[in-house]
Amino acid sequence: MAFQLKANRKETENKTIRFPIPLIEKIEDTIKGQDVTFSSFVIQACEYALNNMTVSEDNRAENKK
């Protein structure tokens, strides 16, 4: 399934993270002209990554503890 941008979400909590400047520039170029904020893009990208990543059996067992 390809990554597709969705409208902004409402319920949030603040977290501070640091991004490399080239990554910020790429994200801003990608969302330019779309109805998506930087934060919304990052949230959606993280959700997509989590839903589509391969998890090893060791990590699955560790997460169940």
User: Does pLDDT of 52 surpass 70?
Assistant: yes
The pLDDT of residue 55: 80
Question: How far is it, in rounded angstroms, from Cα 46 to Cα 36?
Answer: 15
Find tokens 């997460």 and name the residue: 63
pTM score, two decimals?
A: 0.67
Instruction: Name which residue leads in pLDDT, 18 or 2.
Output: 18
- pLDDT tens digits along 15-40: 999 999 999 999 999 999 999 999 99
User: Does pLDDT of 63 surpass 70?
Assistant: no
